[in-house]
Amino acid sequence: MTGNIRLDFMTCLGQHIDDLDRMIDGNASKPDLRSQLAFIGREVAALEADYARLTQEHSNLKEAHVKLHESLAKLQDSPGAPSADTVICSTESITRKCLGQS
C-alpha cells in the first residue's frame, strides 16, 4: 500500500473509534458495541500484519543495499576497473548522445 492509502486507512479507523465513542454515549446495545469493537479489532490486526510485512520488506531492502555496495566496492577494487570519474564521464557522454547533444 502507498502512504496515502495507509493514511486514509488510519483516518477511517479513527472515525470508527469515534463512532464507538458516540455509540457508548448514545447507550447503544451490547451487540452493536461488540460488533463495532470486533470490526476495530480486525482493522488493528490488519495493520499489525501490514506492519510486520513492511518491516520484513525494509529489512530485505537494507540487506540488498549492503550487498550492492559490497559488489560495487569489489568491482572498483578489481584490476582494470574504471575509476568513478571515468564511469561518470562515460555516463554523461552516453546521455548526451541519447539526447542528440554529441
Burial of 43 (0-12, 13-18, 19+ CB in 10 A): middle
pLDDT at 54 over 70: yes
Is 91's pLDDT higher than 60? no
Mean pLDDT, range 16-41, rounded to an integer: 93
pLDDT at 87 over 60: no
Residue 75, pLDDT > 60, answer yes
Coil vs helix vs strand at 52: helix
DSSP code string of 87-99: HHHHHHHHHHHHT
Residue 94 has what pLDDT?
A: 57
Measure the CA–CA gap between 55 and 15, rounded to whole angstroms.
Answer: 26
**Residue 11 scores a pLDDT above 80:** no
Check residue 82 and report its DSSP letter.
Answer: P
Give the pLDDT confidence score for residue 99 in this predicted structure: 57
Please state the rounded mean pLDDT for residues 73-86.
70
Has this prediction a pTM greater than 0.85? no
The more confidently predicted of residues 51 and 96 is: 51
User: What tens digit of pLDDT does each residue of 58-73 get?
Assistant: 999 999 999 888 888 8
